Amino acid sequence: MKLTKKQKEVKQKIDLSKDYKIAEAVSIVKQCAKAKFDESVDIAVHLGVDPKHADQVVRGTVALPHGTGKTVRVLVVAKPDKHQEAIDAGADHVGFEDVLKKIQEGWTDVDIIIAAPDTMSELGKLGKILGPRGLMPNPKSGTVTPNVGQAVKEVKAGKIDFRVDKFGIVHSGIGKASFDEKKLIDNILSFLAMINKLKPAAAKGTYIKSITLSSTMGPGVKIDRTLTDAKSAA
């Protein structure tokens, strides 16, 4: 199969048999991000867990120090006494019965939903719509909270939630290709520190099996799983 010019350039930059330090991987990913738009930078961490067992499900949140670079559209589902708090914090949509009706009719044009606890009995009825889209609020991810204003601020500032998939892999966006290398490194270190913190007691053997970094249109670059602290990142 004939390679394009861009594919040849990428092939020359990456040694597929090598596991790179974080700083090296970030540099390569940025060099390979050749699209005409600002590509997202994503991380995939393969964990030695069996998600079929509840005590091995890795799920959590982390506040990336430099955000993701994405504009996050936030809906707050709350009763009227919380509406101004949510608006002041920067929520894109706020409501209760009116937004529940819109969701029931098929509207889900948001990235995250934050809900006050006293609305979950009604919002929970829309699980068949919100669940498959990953939009159902959950206390473990901080999206069901009485402090809706604080939750909105955290999400807007770069707080993300993640969950291991059925293959034992955690995927997440950790920035944009336009970020300088230090910002991407800081975000990666924060993300991996949280992954390590959430290691289930029931997990046996090697916990982090592999780490791969990539841009939207670029190839995956493997990171040395043993070099994931600030001192060894470079």
Q: Same domain, yes or no, for 135 and 26?
A: no
pLDDT at position 1 is 52
pLDDT at position 180 is 95
Tell which of 103, 125, 157 closes a domain.
157
pLDDT at position 16 is 76
Q: Same domain, yes or no, for 153 and 164?
A: no
199 CB-near residues (< 8 Å, 6+ apart): 58, 207
Q: Same domain, yes or no, for 58 and 86?
A: no
**pLDDT tens across the length of the chain (234 residues):** 554 566 566 656 787 788 999 999 999 999 988 889 999 999 999 999 999 999 999 988 898 999 999 888 999 999 999 999 999 999 999 999 999 999 999 999 999 999 999 999 999 999 999 988 889 998 888 899 999 999 999 999 888 889 899 999 999 999 999 999 999 999 999 999 999 999 999 988 999 999 999 999 988 999 999 887 776 776
pLDDT at position 11 is 59
DSSP secondary structure, 99-133, as one string: HHHHHHTT----SEEEE-GGGHHHHGGGHHHHGGG
Q: Same domain, yes or no, for 64 and 105?
A: no
Domain extent for 130: 74-157
On whether residue 172 sits in a domain, the answer given is yes
Q: Same domain, yes or no, for 163 and 189?
A: yes
> Is the Cα torsion angle 11, 184, 176, 166 positive or negative in sign?
positive
Tell which of 119, 136, 157 closes a domain.
157
Q: Same domain, yes or no, for 134 and 180?
A: no
On whether residue 89 sits in a domain, the answer given is yes
On whether residue 232 sits in a domain, the answer given is no
Q: How many domains does the chain have?
A: 2
CA distance 44 to 23: 16
CA distance 25 to 102: 44
Q: Same domain, yes or no, for 82 and 139?
A: yes
The answer to whether 120 and 103 have CB atoms below 8 angstroms apart is no
CATH number for the domain harbouring residue 92 = 3.40.50.790
N- to C-terminal Cα separation, the chain: 36
CATH number for the domain harbouring residue 27 = 3.30.190.20
